[in-house]
Structure formats: structure tokens, C-alpha cells
Amino acid sequence: MFDIDKWQEIFLSIKQHKIRSILTAIGIFWGIFMLIVMLGMGNGLKRGSEYNFRDDAVNSIWVSPGTTKKPYKGLPPGRRIQMTIDDFNRVDEMEAVDKGTPRNNLSGNFTVKHKQKTSSFDVRATYPDHQYIENTIMVNGRFLNDMDIKEKRQVAVIGETVVDDLYENIEDREAAIGTYISIQNLPYKVVGVFTDTGGERELRKIYIPYSTANQIYNYKNRVNRMMFTADEEDVEASKKLTKEIQAQLASVHNFDPSDKNAVFIRNNIENFERFMALFGAIEIIIWIVGIFTLLAGIIGVGNIMLIIVKERTKEIGVRKALGATPWSIVSLILQESIFITSVAGYFGLVAGIGVLELINSFLKASPGSFFRDPTIDFRVAVIATIILVICGGLAGLVPALKAARVNPVVAMRDE
């Protein structure tokens, strides 16, 4: 391998056939480049969707009311189902349920005020468990707690953007803790500031205790949405829980348990699994397409090496007459083909990763929701490179063996 003479001859051979060598190299370069870029793009799509799911707990189940479509026990279809805090409590006590919260959004047009500044935000009345279900990350202070619910405190947890919009000259967001904001002209004490992976929209939220809102806004225990997480992160377990919730609500609200429109139950883990299966399939397709692209390049190398052997028949004959062993001939041809594939492959790899990093830096500047971090991990890059070197060897093998079989006398007489 580290025979200087052999390398000199390889470089010379490449130098003497610049165009041919470059075209061959481009075939390989393109193959590996496309493989890397496509894998990166696939990863980007996958990570983008994973990221979207990350905002909410993957194993969460969301329940919202609907309208019955099937008649049941003499009752006509078309009845609106209204859930209450009792429904929530019954589901929350189920064994398979881990966390749970009701969630009502404050309705109507209203503004939120702090001192002179006014803006409008979404206000959500929830329980403390909401923090886990929507993956809310506290920056300062705390989220809602059980005492807030129990004592119906007028407290609020606000997003970072809310602070930015309502507070003047705030260097440190911690300074917002303990101040008051007014929602529909009622004062709420700020107890926490949060951030959220779900993006800008999630940062414009304000959380207040459900019990407080229930009393002030006269909900009469009505609940507009219930959210739970299953005890186990398992599709079957969460499917079973979904059915139990449906059955529970059906028996209380007198609707057909098979009526899918009476209540809407969104099972995120099922969706998540479905998405992951889809991306698994996309990844396989990408590998297949990529490897075939690469294969085209490798066949190109094989072709070129055959031509090289043909052209150098005489030289190989001379070498054999002078005492070259078959292996020294084979290794000469093999090394040239492996060298071309490795160098071209390496540049393809670097260029592919470069393009992905470039896209990534653009995405970081303006994050899109469906496409994220389109990079490949180092292991995949290494595997691809190893495949490439092996293939380079295979591509050179047939021509090299042909070269080793050259009959010296015939080759040398060949003018």
C-alpha cells in the first residue's frame, strides 16, 4: 500500500488521462453526494415531524366534545355533548391514566394589560399537569400548582413573548415574577415565565388555574377539552385507554359507544407511530435510490478500469516479462480504482455534508415546522465511505484479474 513507486505510477496514470479520470470521479462523487443529501433530507423531514410531536407529550390523549351522529336508546342524533369536570375526574381516576388536565380557552375579545401596555393573548385555564402534557419549560418561577387550584388563586404563568410584549425595559425576565397583569380587568399575579419547544405561538399563551376561571367566568363545571397521558408509552395500552374513555363518556352522556362523532379522541402515540413507520419507509426508499445511484458510478469506474487495462496491455506484458507477479499487477489496477473512488467519494461526502450544513444554517435562521436539522450522523457517513471503498475495489477487480491474465508475448507483439 505504501509503495512510493506504485503510487507514482497511479498518479501518472491518472494525470495522463485527466478527462477520463475526472469523469469517472464525477460519477462516484455524484452517487455519494446524492446519497448523503437524500439521507439528510429524509432525516430533516423525520426530525421536523418528530419535533412537531415534541411540543406535546408523545403518549398524550386529547378528548374534545362533538355532536352525536347515531341514534341511541330512543334519543335522536345531532345532540351536542358537553363534558364537565366530573367527566374529567372519572377519567383521571382510571388506572391507566398518568397525568390529566381539563383545558378551557378564555373566549371572546379581550386584552391583557400590564401598566400602560396592552396586547391580546390566548388564556388557558388548566390544571398543573398541563405542564407535562404540552412540555412547557419553566424559565423563571413556577408553573401552576395544586394549591392554586384548591384555593382558586388569581395567578398566571406567562410565556416569554408575553413578557416581551407587556413589560418595558425588562432585562431579566425574572423581574416579571410577582408583578400583576390584568385579564378582562381582573388582576392576576405572575408566578412563572415559560418557554416552549412548540414555537412562537406557544409563547403567546397565559395559563391560569381552571378552578379560578370556573368561578370567575361562570363555567358551571363545563370542560371544553380534556388531556391525559397514558401510564405506559405503548400503542396497545393507549388504544385500550382510548376505548375505555369512549365507553365511560358514552355511558354518562347516553350515546352509542361506537359513535366516533360524539366525542373526538386524538391518540398521539398512534399518530406518532404511524408517522415513524412512514418515515422508516421513506428512509428505506432513499437508501435504495441512493445505492443504485452509487452503483451507476461504480459500474462507470469498472468500465474505465477495463479501458485502462486494455490500453496498458502492452505495458502489463512487459512488466510480466520482467518478473511482475500476478498480484503486483492486480494490486496496481485495484489501487488505482480504489484511489479514484475513495477520493471522489470523500469529496462527495464532504460536499453532501456541506450542502446539508448550509441548508441547516438557513433553517436555523428561519425555522420551518416540517423540516429540521437535515444532517446525517457520523456513523452513516463512515458506513457509506466503507461501502464505497469496497465497491471501488470490486469495480477494479474484474479488470485487474483480466490484466493479470495478459499473455506477455502476445501483448508485446501487439503494435
Partner 1 sequence: MLLLKNINKSYKVGKGSLHVLKNVQMEVKEGELISIMGSSGSGKSTLLNIMGILDDYDSGEYYIDNTLIKNLSQKQAAQYRNRFLGFVFQSFNLLPFKNAMENVALPLYYQKVGRRERNKIAVEYLDKVGLKAWAEHLPTELSGGQKQRVAIARALIAQPKVILADEPTGALDTTTSLEVMDLFKQVNKEGITIIIVTHERDIAALTQRTIFLKDGVIESHDHSFA
Which candidate, 53, 40, 35, places its Cα nearest to that of 276? 53
Closer Cβ to partner 1, 151 or 414, answer by number = 414
Residue 152 burial (C-beta neighbours within 10 Å; 0-12, 13-18, 19+):
middle
Distance of CA 318 to the CA centre of its chain: 59
379: Cβ contacts below 8 Å, ≥ 6 apart? none
Which candidate, 102, 65, 63, 64, places its Cα nearest to that of 81? 65
In order of 8, 22, 391, the CA distances from 13 in angstroms are 9, 12, 21
16: Cβ contacts below 8 Å, ≥ 6 apart? none
Distance of CA 338 to the CA centre of its chain: 35
**Minimum distance from CB of 1 to partner 1 (Å)?**
15
Residue 335 one-letter amino acid: Q
Site for partner 1, rule CB under 8 A: 4-5, 12, 16, 314-315, 317-328, 404, 407-409, 412-413, 415
Closer Cβ to partner 1, 216 or 401, answer by number = 401
**Minimum distance from CB of 9 to partner 1 (Å)?**
8
**Minimum distance from CB of 324 to partner 1 (Å)?**
5
Q: At what angle do helices 378-404 and 18-54 cross, to 10 degrees?
A: 150
Closer Cβ to partner 1, 115 or 413, answer by number = 413
Closer Cβ to partner 1, 11 or 292, answer by number = 11
**Minimum distance from CB of 286 to partner 1 (Å)?**
43
**Minimum distance from CB of 10 to partner 1 (Å)?**
12
Look up cell 355533548; give the residue: 81
Q: At what angle do helices 235-253 and 85-92 cross, to 10 degrees?
A: 140
Closer Cβ to partner 1, 225 or 319, answer by number = 319
**Minimum distance from CB of 41 to partner 1 (Å)?**
45
The DSSP secondary structure of 339-351, one letter per residue, reads: HHHHHHHHHHHHH
Closer Cβ to partner 1, 10 or 208, answer by number = 10
Closer Cβ to partner 1, 318 or 389, answer by number = 318
Closer Cβ to partner 1, 350 or 412, answer by number = 412
**Minimum distance from CB of 399 to partner 1 (Å)?**
17
Please answer whether residues 178 and 189 qualify as being in contact, where contact means their C-beta atoms are separated by less than 8 angstroms.
yes
CA–CA separation, 319 and 298 (whole Å): 27
> What are the φ and ψ backbone dihedral angles of 337, each rounded to 5 degrees?
-70, -40
CA–CA separation, 343 and 27 (whole Å): 12
**Minimum distance from CB of 383 to partner 1 (Å)?**
35
**Minimum distance from CB of 17 to partner 1 (Å)?**
12
Closer Cβ to partner 1, 239 or 314, answer by number = 314
Please answer whether residues 269 and 10 qualify as being in contact, where contact means their C-beta atoms are separated by less than 8 angstroms.
no
CA R_g for the chain: 34
